């Protein structure tokens, strides 16, 4: 899955680079949207595969802290992209656009190389009855030179868990399928997982990722707006790195509440300020016959 998703991601870069070749605007937009779709499929597959791999291989006591590395590396990718855009703004012609997207190939190589280096999930191998390979993969993940063979005890526990889960799949009275996620106590678990995944969108993470676009809409130049973007990502990076320490000491629930309350107040203040009208120029949106239009009224 990781290799397939990487190929999709690399293929989307080809579409992005060539999306400026059609002569008409509709063709360029259509080709660019196609690239976004392919890229979304690749990124979505990488995201789910990596999270599943971590849940199957990371020890329980380390899982909370290690999973914070996931958004950290997402932010590293964003800040690298923003810096590349900042540099390419000074380059004239179509090459600036194409070079910016071509740099995504460098990031596509990383997960492709990882597929040949990291061991397969022992849990997945056990589900496929590949016990010998599962023992080898588990040893690469948990073997300790001071205590050789100690990891075999945890492997036996994993084997028993997989065997118990497998019995649930084969027993007609205890068969587990996707619909089980929405029945009984599992419905509550599903709701918690869904809520946790939509939480970033609820507090406006996607809007923060487009701050340079909104600043440009109100007249801020491209370079300055992108600089604001870089500063915002850098602050987010600092916050996520601090979560390595704070997550295990403060706790998930308290940390979420402590950070969401200031976010709510800040977004609320932005909304209130946006409703205030005064003398001078202001910006508003309206839907025209063909597209969304931006108006500056003096």
Write the CB contacts of 44 (distance below 8 Å, at least 6 apart in sequence): 5
pTM higher than the cut 0.75? no
DSSP per position, 11-37 = HHHHHHHHTT-SSSHHHHHHHHHHHHH
Q: Please give the backbone phi and psi of residue 297, each rounded to the nearest 5 degrees, phi first.
A: -110, 130
pLDDT of residue 48: 87
As a residue count, the chain comes to 298
Assess contact for 150 and 144: CB atoms under 8 A: yes
pLDDT of residue 298: 45
pLDDT of residue 276: 73
Q: Where do the domains of the chain lie?
A: 119-176
Sign of CA dihedral 108, 109, 110, 111: positive
CA pair distance 264, 250, nearest whole angstrom: 20
Assess contact for 78 and 233: CB atoms under 8 A: yes
CA dihedral 275, 199, 234, 90 (to 10 degrees): -70
pLDDT of residue 8: 92
Angle among Cα 45, 143, 124 to the nearest 5 degrees reads: 30
CA pair distance 131, 126, nearest whole angstrom: 6
Of 102, 109, 100, nearest to 81 by C-alpha is 100
Of 83, 72, 103, nearest to 229 by C-alpha is 83
Q: Please give the backbone phi and psi of residue 282, each rounded to the nearest 5 degrees, phi first.
A: -145, 165
DSSP per position, 171-213 = -GGG---GGGGGSTHHHHHHHHHHHHHHHHHHTTHHHHTTHHH
Q: Residue 102: exposed, middle, or buried by beta-carbon count in 10 A (0-12, 13-18, 19+)?
A: middle
Mean pLDDT by 10 residues, the chain (298 residues): 91 92 91 94 89 84 75 84 85 84 85 87 88 87 72 81 66 67 88 86 76 79 84 85 78 82 86 71 52 48
N-term to C-term CA, the chain: 54
pLDDT of residue 55: 84
Q: Residue 212: exposed, middle, or buried by beta-carbon count in 10 A (0-12, 13-18, 19+)?
A: buried
């Amino acid at each position: 899955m990781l290799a397939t998703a990487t190929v999709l991601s690399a293929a989307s870069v080809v579409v992005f680079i060539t999306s400026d070749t059609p002569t008409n605007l509709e063709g360029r937009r259509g080709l660019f949207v196609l690239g976004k779709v392919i890229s979304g499929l690749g990124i979505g597959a990488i995201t789910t595969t990596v999270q599943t791999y971590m849940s199957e291989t990371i020890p329980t006591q380390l899982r909370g802290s290690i999973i914070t590395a996931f958004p950290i590396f997402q932010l590293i990718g964003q800040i690298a992209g923003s810096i590349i855009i900042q540099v390419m703004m000074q380059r004239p012609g179509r090459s600036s656009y194409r070079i910016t997207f071509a740099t995504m190939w460098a990031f596509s190589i990383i997960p492709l190389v990882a597929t040949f280096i990291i061991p397969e999930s022992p849990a997945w191998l056990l589900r496929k009855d590949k016990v010998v390979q599962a023992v080898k993969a588990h040893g690469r993940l948990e073997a300790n030179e001071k205590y050789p063979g100690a990891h075999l005890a945890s492997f036996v526990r994993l084997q028993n868990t997989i065997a118990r889960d497998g019995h649930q799949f084969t027993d007609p009275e205890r068969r587990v399928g996707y619909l089980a996620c929405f029945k009984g106590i599992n419905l509550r678990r599903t709701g918690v997982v869904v809520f946790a995944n939509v939480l970033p969108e609820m507090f406006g993470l996607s809007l923060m990722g487009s701050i340079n676009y909104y600043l440009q809409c109100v007249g801020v130049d491209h370079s300055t707006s992108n600089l604001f973007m870089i500063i915002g990502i850098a602050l987010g990076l600092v916050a996520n790195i601090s979560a390595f320490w704070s997550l295990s000491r403060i706790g998930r629930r308290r940390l979420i509440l402590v950070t969401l309350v200031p976010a709510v107040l800040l977004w609320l203040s932005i909304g209130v300020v946006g409703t205030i009208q005064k003398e001078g120029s202001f910006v508003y949106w309206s839907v025209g016959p063909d597209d969304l239009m931006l108006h500056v009224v003096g």
